[in-house]
Structure 1
Amino acid sequence: MNGFQKLAQVLSGANQTQGAGGANPPPKDVRIELATVIKPPPDLKILIDGMTEPIGKEFITVLEHLTRHTRIVTITHQEKAERDLGDMKKEDFLDTDDLAAPFTSFKHNYLLLQFEDVLKLNDKVHVLSVDSAYYILDRVKRP
């Protein structure tokens, strides 16, 4: 059983023990599916792979990181600090002179950062469907 199947099993209540009445609650229909955005927000519509009818915004919940939203952040810069980006390592570099000491560093606390990148036409997304509710979990990119 893969991680998505385990998550679906937990969300469906299949792991719950019998209640006081001796009966398990009926399992919910839970799936993780691939879909395509066919109409971007504010009138969001998606089409789940294999289906012919699109799903409208009234049945969809979008996780915050896929919406326009703000966060309070701290930005820290330390000249020449190495950053591990997963597929490569890069130095934090903002030197305004000639790579000679002193190197610059700064920290800005409690800045308001606004994320602007919302769902777009033809984005591929993972969707958690629970009965007739649909939760867009994330964008999907193929390497």
Structure 2
Amino acid sequence: MERIEGSGASQLVQLIRAIGYNSDVSIELATVTSAPPELKIKVDHMNVELEKDDLIVAESLTKHKRTINLKSSGGTKISASSPPLPAPPTGLKVGVTMVQMPPGPHDHPLSFTSLDLSDADQTVEEAELEFVDELKKDDRVLVAGIQQGQFYIILDRAVMY
């Protein structure tokens, strides 16, 4: 590249003209025509479907697991949705009390219908979180065409309001 001369603004304009336009990448909208594992998409304004061999998919759009640490300060609410828990008898507030059990076999497990931790701080370390919301048929997606359209990267779902 030759030396760029002129004022700072002029140099910036010349630099943008020299390297700013990148025809190797194009951003397009597409529609998922077949869900994984046989993923296919149709890019708007193209007459062909692209198959999974032509696609690179962002991990956030796949089923995947992550290891996380969770921390809650000042209160936590825990509830069960399946199966539904039976209602406690009227006037009964269920709590957990630590009790030292005498030695011997214990066949009565602790059970409760709710747990109130409204004033408790909670920390969960090294928990596994599984994401299951992968691409579905008819999802609209943003794709980046690279290497003159030889491959497409599915970047994210496209949402319009």
TM-score, normalisation: structure 1: 0.66
Give the superposition deviation at 1:14: 3.3
Q: 2:24 is matched with which residue: 24, 29, 33?
A: 29
- Alignment gaps of 5+ in structure 2: 1-17, 79-114
1:32-55, Cα deviation, whole Å (9 max, x unpaired):
000000001011100011112111
> Aligned-pair RMSD on alpha carbons?
2.5
Note closer, same or farther for the CA distance 1:74–1:121 as it changes in structure 2 (3 Å cut).
Answer: same
**What are the residue-to-residue correspondences of 1:1-143 with 2, within 5 Å?**
14-15=19-20, 29-79=24-74, 94=77, 96-97=115-116, 103-130=119-146, 131=148, 132-143=150-161
Contact persistence 2:70–2:124 (CA under 8 A) = yes
1:56-98, Cα deviation, whole Å (9 max, x unpaired):
1111000111111111101111236xxxxxxxxxxxx528559
Where do 4+ consecutive residues of structure 1 move more than 3 Å? Answer: 13-16, 95-99
Equivalenced residue count is 107
Give the superposition deviation at 1:28: 5.0
SS at match of 1:94: strand
Letter in 1 for 2:19: A
**Percent of counterpart pairs with the same letter?**
34
**Higher RCO (CA < 8 A, seq sep 6+):** 2
TM-score, normalisation: structure 2: 0.59
- Please say which structure displays the higher CA radius of gyration: 2
More strand by share: 1
